[in-house]
Structure 1
Amino acid sequence: MTAGPVARVLVDSPLPQLDQLFDYRVPERLVEEAKPGVRVRVPLRSGGRIADGWLVELAESSEYEGRLAELDLVVSEVPLLGAEVWALARAVADRAAGNASDVLRLAIPSRYVRVERAWRAAEPDPGELPAATAVTGYEAGVVEAGIAGGERMALAADPRPIKLPSGEWVGAWAVTLAEAAAATLAADRSSLLVVPDYRDQEQLQAALAEIVDPRRVLRTDARQTGGARFRAFLDAGGDDARIIVGNRSTVYAPAARLGLIALWDDGDALMNEPLSPGVHPRDVALIRQEQSDAALILLGHTRSVEVERLVEIGWVRPVAAHRHVRPRVIPTEQQAAPEPGSARIPSAAWRQAQEAVQEGPVLVQVARPGHTPMLSCDRCREPARCAACGGVLAVPRAGGAPRCTLCGTSAASWQCPVCESTKLRAVTVGASRTAEELGRAFPRARVILSDGERPVLRVGAEPALVVATRGAEPIADGGYRAVLLLDGERMLLRESLRVAEDCLRWWSNAAALASPGAPVFLVGVAGALAQALAGWRQLEWAGTELAARRALRFPPAVRVASVTAPHSGVERAIAAATAAAPGVDALGPTPVDDELERAIVRFDYGSGAAVARALRAEMIRVATERRRPVAGRRPQRPRVLRVRFDDPEVP
């Protein structure tokens, strides 16, 4: 046993066998600097390398019997890893069979020495606390009481735009979150407000600026410079209560006396974390809420099926909004055929758009950017694909016969493999092409295009036709006088378990941008999904969808983990998972490439910890297994075992 002081260090490494705390002796020269939470550099005995790491805690002694290596260097002057964030990172990593160091890489931005030293020298000026405020749009005191009591709440958002005292227009949801955060701040507690992208962040910050001292609001997102983001992180870790606004990584931000975690539109694909271990911020928020006893708000125009499951089991309490008005949605599947030259718009919607554009802006939502029309079979609506490579067929911008968008092969003699029809129809026309068609059809109207390459955040109240791809719709002053939701049929052709849920969310968010009483036309869609949107019954639809997935044992009724490895590796991983807990089964494996296969392991939520431990042990076994090279043969491909829990790409 080694006497202290002893530093317990997490090495910053993607290797699963290094995901544990290692003991290092603190030399005399570093005793004053070595504090819990600082970045350090430590020696690794394998290879004699120096590695980065985090000093997680200090101990008086170590149980290791041998001689401890010494800390090499203390890197940061300020402790950056707080105990609360470390506990969160450890829990998140264990839930997903991942590395805590990967989670900390998401949670803590890169260090800037100049910024760190300037922050240490600066006098703190947090700004004033706001007066107590109420959250409008809900039963008096319900949301405020839930925040004070640390409850978990699913709020239905008010679907309309609101004019702020400054004259700026934002979605009512932004005002709801701003008021909830202000109520939390009035009690001298911090809030974490997580939104999908910068468009939502701009609205939320505008709403906060009306009721909260701007010095109390911190922004953390990828659009900031590295130095600005690091400075915001340092401010968030101070002693003053703050409102921290940002994208998905904001859920890990340090916060003094955390009182509220709020997520807007948790079903948005931008909320999916692509970096290892790939844990959704909604799941991170649920873990952090339990650890901190803060309140949790999940807000949206639609309710994700994951949140619906939490509501049904009683883990989250639903809170309805007082809806004096709701969007006037009109499905057009049974209406007359499109007008000539009307960009696929049915006659009734066409006439309404002609009238509405005389008064103000009209929104036209389309499925995809670009110009080229996408095609399907005219008889059975099967997507048209190239016979040579399976790529999607489209009409070239210059005109002529359809061609494959991948290999360029002409499809002049195309025949549907399902019904043998030879006739094609356009199911999706890109945003650019739609804007051109509408410009010719409405020669006196200004046409505004908004997509991922040319984003437009806001438009005025002047007459205009706004053509936007899904998720890129600008907010209009006073709301849109009419909304046309095109390409619904094409959106539903995407092969995904979540396609209907995603479409309902896209359409609901666009419909909520309409001014009160303005018509919202849903083109090309009928059935239960259209009825749910028309009646603004998204919550009922989420319950029905969850019941269907439960019958099929699809997520989120059960949890899943994707396992990718060579055939033998997949079999061993499946065997380990099924032996870990009862009721675990697997789908597959199916080929990924010439050497790798993928299987889907399904298990109940109660078995998640056992399955994660079993698959983690298998990952460590594969990573530490050594294979001797064979003389005269090419080096073999390194063993691969990739595991991702709750994989959003599982169809």
Structure 2
Amino acid sequence: MPAASIARVLIDSPLPQLDRLFDYRIPDELLTGAQPGVRVRVPLRSAGRIADGFIIELTDSVDYEGTLSDIDAVVSAVPVLAPEIWTLARTVATRAAGTASDVIRVAVPTRQVRVEKAWLARDPLARLSPALPAPLSGYGDDLTEVLAGCRRAAVDAIPRVVPVTPDRWVGHWAVTMAAAAATTVAGGASAILAVPDYRDQDQLEAALAAVLPADRIVRLDARQSNPDRYRALLRCLGDEPLAIVGNRSAVYAPAASLGLIALWDDGDPLHAEPHAPYAHTRDVALIRQEQQGSALLFLGHSRSTEVERLVEVGWLTSISPARIVSPKVIPTAQQTSTDRLAAQARIPSSAWQAARQALDSGPVLVQVARPGYAPRVACESCRQTARCNRCEGPLSMASSTSTPACTWCGALAVDWACSLCEGRRFRLVGSGSARTAEDLGRAFPGVRVIIADGDHPVQEVPGKPALVVATRGAEPLAAGGYQAVLLLDGERMVARESLRVGEDCLRWWANAAALAAPGAPTVLVGVGGALASAMATWRLADYARAELADRRRLRFPPAIRVATVTGATDAVATAVEATQGASPGVDVLGPVETDEGMARAIVRFDYSAGATVAATLRSEVVRAAANRRRAAAGKGGRGPMKPPFRVRFDDSEPFAEQ
């Protein structure tokens, strides 16, 4: 055969049996277009059908002595799967016992023919506007040295809001990331900036627009339409350096010359991919930085225990602001409401007084735990939590006049009766954003009240007097910052069943406190102990350090790694036995029965055993998938199939109530 006439192809399939490269002969008429990274269609002999795939590499010889099948068609001549993304996808999938196709499906959007034709027709000689470096203020020379040396760092963000234009304010963290990106792009390399959601992304794009030309900024995220996302991917395939901004999928953007990866708020659960192989943006960024040798920054007001572990082992350098900047946080764990209006709003008198004084000069932020009116309703007679008659889910109320509805299935409780006492009247338990706004409206008559939550998205408010009631993570920015911040429902947030409850609460509260104007009070209601001390002293990294030490003693993540194994009871038992025999030091919690015929186990192991455990569980995934298909074929395609066998590494909530 002539040189490079054989293509090694990755089949686009979630089946673990097909997660390897297949060899195909390239017909003479396809030799020109069949290049690494392009989409192709190839025959699958075992299934008797045509499958989609990507050419990964070309070769001139293979060990197979038979006749190779021919590539059926080259779908597109554009190499959308860049070499660095294939290497990244393969490593991420191997580390998580998943398939590379699942990772590539996140990295490479669906093909859009019109967009592709327009991109091919562009002027290849057109140049982008010149980029200039931006000053990295607030950290001395530390950040500049990290970027210049392509090092890794955990950066404590400055808790302030700053203007980027006369009428646009953003968090200081966004200005820091934008300046780092501008410096990287001006130096001839691309920068990838990943944030949890669209609110953070809008801030970051505004900060980038102030330091980079518009044609140097590429938005790449899941909220885009398919054509826009595909257009953004094609822009990233060029040679000129860009600032690529988006959510967790942006970390897979192609960039052959990569100078910086920066993540904001890596502890946010939105950074965790909900689909197999469930790779976290933080882990993908660490892998890619090591492969491509770029700088890596983790920024946050608080610090996740995962980042703290990397700091302690020396993998990350800890960088703090050159000048100590901390909000004025006032814990009120033991205070009560002695003022009539404060009691009416169900907040301590000190919080009410702070809000009343602050409203003379500007807006006040009130953070609450839950949206809606009443997060939970109970039977008025026996006080038992009211549950849905259909699925046993808890009931809640969206407004004062709405009918209680199930938070699981959404069914309205029109004919509800208590299962214990047969009572039919409800009692409201707790306050959501709507009920809190109603109570505060009575306590502060004549003051405008704004609700900001999932149903009422608000991203910015003017610097005028107003009460802004927002759920955690949905707080809008105020021009000039809030004149006071009230953090309510602290005891309810801390009571959540989760291993990460402490660091999550600190992250929610710190991000809200960072929206306050300089010197404005932040009142933390109903919380004491280590969490209140960490907030009051703004020594948030110390809390993460103590939390990590406790988890290390208990062998909880991230001190060790975990893998959650779920599936048929016999498949889970086999996988657990194989894993325990694969490497010393592996211990297993469970298996425990979850449903009829289903079981779940948690495998704990040291980081040094990660590759061995992943390879072993990967083999069990392939075995279970083959047995499942064999059992289905034996039944002639009829009857219930065996439940799927799933493995999830580094689950963020492995010990939460299931």
- When normalised by structure 1's length, the TM-score is 0.93
Alignment of 1:394-405 (within 5 A): none
**CA separation of 1:557 and 1:11: change in aligned 2, threshold 3 A:** same
**CA separation of 1:69 and 1:163: change in aligned 2, threshold 3 A:** same
- Once the two structures are superposed, what CA deviation does each residue of 1:467-501 show, in whole Å capped at 9, x if it has no partner? 11100000000000000111111112221111111
Distance, in Å, in 1 between the alignment partners of 2:634 and 2:560 is 44
- Residue 469 of structure 1 pairs with residue 471 of structure 2: yes
* Matched AA of 2:57: E
**CA separation of 1:130 and 1:575: change in aligned 2, threshold 3 A:** same
Q: Contact 2:25–2:70 (CA<8 Å) still a contact in 1?
A: yes
- Once the two structures are superposed, what CA deviation does each residue of 1:15-67 show, in whole Å capped at 9, x if it has no partner? 10100000000001101110110000000001210000000011011211111
Once the 2 structures are TM-superposed, how far is the Cα of residue 393 of structure 1 from its aligned partner?
Answer: 6.3
Q: Contact 1:155–1:319 (CA<8 Å) still a contact in 2?
A: yes
- Residue 644 of structure 1 pairs with residue 645 of structure 2: no
Question: SS at 2:522's partner residue?
Answer: strand
Alignment of 1:338-349 (within 5 A): 339-340=339-340, 342-349=344-351
- Once the two structures are superposed, what CA deviation does each residue of 1:379-415 show, in whole Å capped at 9, x if it has no partner? xxx995769986546679669999987795556988x
Match of 1:555 among 554, 557, 565: 557
Distance, in Å, in 2 between the alignment partners of 1:221 and 1:405 is 29
Q: Contact 2:372–2:399 (CA<8 Å) still a contact in 1?
A: no
Distance, in Å, in 2 between the alignment partners of 1:557 and 1:61 is 46
**CA separation of 1:413 and 1:599: change in aligned 2, threshold 3 A:** closer
Q: Contact 1:427–1:490 (CA<8 Å) still a contact in 2?
A: no
Distance, in Å, in 2 between the alignment partners of 1:249 and 1:112 is 18
- Once the two structures are superposed, what CA deviation does each residue of 1:87-110 show, in whole Å capped at 9, x if it has no partner? 000000000000001100000111
Once the 2 structures are TM-superposed, how far is the Cα of residue 79 of structure 1 from its aligned partner?
Answer: 0.7
Distance, in Å, in 2 between the alignment partners of 1:550 and 1:385 is 39
Partner of 1:292: 292
**CA separation of 1:297 and 1:425: change in aligned 2, threshold 3 A:** farther
Once the 2 structures are TM-superposed, how far is the Cα of residue 616 of structure 1 from its aligned partner?
Answer: 0.6
Q: Contact 2:373–2:435 (CA<8 Å) still a contact in 1?
A: yes
Distance, in Å, in 2 between the alignment partners of 1:470 and 1:212 is 31
Partner of 2:507: 505
**CA separation of 1:564 and 1:41: change in aligned 2, threshold 3 A:** same
Once the 2 structures are TM-superposed, how far is the Cα of residue 76 of structure 1 from its aligned partner?
Answer: 1.2
Once the 2 structures are TM-superposed, how far is the Cα of residue 223 of structure 1 from its aligned partner?
Answer: 2.2
**CA separation of 1:47 and 1:512: change in aligned 2, threshold 3 A:** same
Once the 2 structures are TM-superposed, how far is the Cα of residue 592 of structure 1 from its aligned partner?
Answer: 2.2
Distance, in Å, in 1 between the alignment partners of 2:637 and 2:121 is 61
Alignment of 1:225-624 (within 5 A): 225-337=225-337, 339-340=339-340, 342-374=344-376, 391-392=393-394, 408=413, 409=416, 428-624=430-626
Partner of 2:15: 15
Distance, in Å, in 1 between the alignment partners of 2:398 and 2:474 is 25
Question: SS at 1:164's partner residue?
Answer: strand
Partner of 1:209: 209
**CA separation of 1:524 and 1:61: change in aligned 2, threshold 3 A:** same
Q: Contact 2:7–2:23 (CA<8 Å) still a contact in 1?
A: yes
Q: Contact 1:431–1:467 (CA<8 Å) still a contact in 2?
A: yes
Distance, in Å, in 1 between the alignment partners of 2:188 and 2:53 is 33
Distance, in Å, in 2 between the alignment partners of 1:178 and 1:561 is 36
**CA separation of 1:468 and 1:577: change in aligned 2, threshold 3 A:** same
Distance, in Å, in 1 between the alignment partners of 2:583 and 2:429 is 47
Once the 2 structures are TM-superposed, how far is the Cα of residue 358 of structure 1 from its aligned partner?
Answer: 1.7
Partner of 2:160: 160
Q: Contact 1:272–1:280 (CA<8 Å) still a contact in 2?
A: yes
Once the 2 structures are TM-superposed, how far is the Cα of residue 567 of structure 1 from its aligned partner?
Answer: 1.3
* Matched AA of 1:270: L
Distance, in Å, in 1 between the alignment partners of 2:63 and 2:43 is 19
Which shows bigger deviation, 119-128 or 598-607? 119-128
Once the 2 structures are TM-superposed, how far is the Cα of residue 127 of structure 1 from its aligned partner?
Answer: 2.7
* Matched AA of 1:42: V
Q: Contact 1:217–1:244 (CA<8 Å) still a contact in 2?
A: yes
Once the 2 structures are TM-superposed, how far is the Cα of residue 338 of structure 1 from its aligned partner?
Answer: 6.2
**CA separation of 1:613 and 1:345: change in aligned 2, threshold 3 A:** same
Match of 2:639 among 609, 627, 635: 635
Q: Contact 2:128–2:240 (CA<8 Å) still a contact in 1?
A: no
Question: SS at 2:5's partner residue?
Answer: strand
Once the 2 structures are TM-superposed, how far is the Cα of residue 374 of structure 1 from its aligned partner?
Answer: 3.3
Question: SS at 2:211's partner residue?
Answer: coil
Distance, in Å, in 2 between the alignment partners of 1:327 and 1:413 is 48
Q: Contact 1:97–1:616 (CA<8 Å) still a contact in 2?
A: yes
- Once the two structures are superposed, what CA deviation does each residue of 1:584-622 show, in whole Å capped at 9, x if it has no partner? 011111222212111001111110100000011111112
Distance, in Å, in 1 between the alignment partners of 2:261 and 2:99 is 24
Distance, in Å, in 2 between the alignment partners of 1:98 and 1:128 is 41
Partner of 1:147: 147
**CA separation of 1:645 and 1:210: change in aligned 2, threshold 3 A:** same
Q: Contact 1:192–1:260 (CA<8 Å) still a contact in 2?
A: yes
Distance, in Å, in 1 between the alignment partners of 2:637 and 2:335 is 69
Q: Contact 1:402–1:411 (CA<8 Å) still a contact in 2?
A: no
Alignment of 1:22-41 (within 5 A): 22-41=22-41
Distance, in Å, in 2 between the alignment partners of 1:605 and 1:555 is 11
Q: Contact 2:345–2:442 (CA<8 Å) still a contact in 1?
A: no
- Once the two structures are superposed, what CA deviation does each residue of 1:403-455 show, in whole Å capped at 9, x if it has no partner? 987795556988xxxxxxxxx99763011111122222222111111111211
Which shows bigger deviation, 614-623 or 301-310? 614-623
Distance, in Å, in 2 between the alignment partners of 1:555 and 1:396 is 36
Partner of 1:138: 139
Once the 2 structures are TM-superposed, how far is the Cα of residue 507 of structure 1 from its aligned partner?
Answer: 0.4
Alignment of 1:56-205 (within 5 A): 56-123=56-123, 125-139=126-140, 141-205=141-205
Gaps of 5+ in 1: 415-423
* Matched AA of 2:593: P
Q: Contact 1:446–1:465 (CA<8 Å) still a contact in 2?
A: yes
Q: Contact 1:4–1:25 (CA<8 Å) still a contact in 2?
A: no
**CA separation of 1:404 and 1:294: change in aligned 2, threshold 3 A:** closer
**CA separation of 1:328 and 1:571: change in aligned 2, threshold 3 A:** same
* Matched AA of 1:489: E
Q: Contact 1:126–1:215 (CA<8 Å) still a contact in 2?
A: no
Question: SS at 1:593's partner residue?
Answer: coil
Once the 2 structures are TM-superposed, how far is the Cα of residue 343 of structure 1 from its aligned partner?
Answer: 2.4
**CA separation of 1:339 and 1:111: change in aligned 2, threshold 3 A:** farther
**CA separation of 1:21 and 1:283: change in aligned 2, threshold 3 A:** same
* Matched AA of 2:46: S
Question: SS at 1:47's partner residue?
Answer: coil
Distance, in Å, in 1 between the alignment partners of 2:4 and 2:182 is 45
Distance, in Å, in 2 between the alignment partners of 1:31 and 1:356 is 71
- Once the two structures are superposed, what CA deviation does each residue of 1:282-330 show, in whole Å capped at 9, x if it has no partner? 0000000000000000000000000000001101110011345311111
Distance, in Å, in 2 between the alignment partners of 1:393 and 1:78 is 52
- Once the two structures are superposed, what CA deviation does each residue of 1:234-283 show, in whole Å capped at 9, x if it has no partner? 11110100000000000010114100000000000111100110100100
Distance, in Å, in 2 between the alignment partners of 1:500 and 1:188 is 41
**CA separation of 1:427 and 1:530: change in aligned 2, threshold 3 A:** farther
**CA separation of 1:18 and 1:383: change in aligned 2, threshold 3 A:** farther
Q: Contact 2:222–2:249 (CA<8 Å) still a contact in 1?
A: no
Partner of 1:417: none
Distance, in Å, in 2 between the alignment partners of 1:640 and 1:339 is 58
* Matched AA of 1:136: S
Distance, in Å, in 1 between the alignment partners of 2:41 and 2:636 is 40
Q: Contact 2:156–2:319 (CA<8 Å) still a contact in 1?
A: yes
* Matched AA of 1:582: P
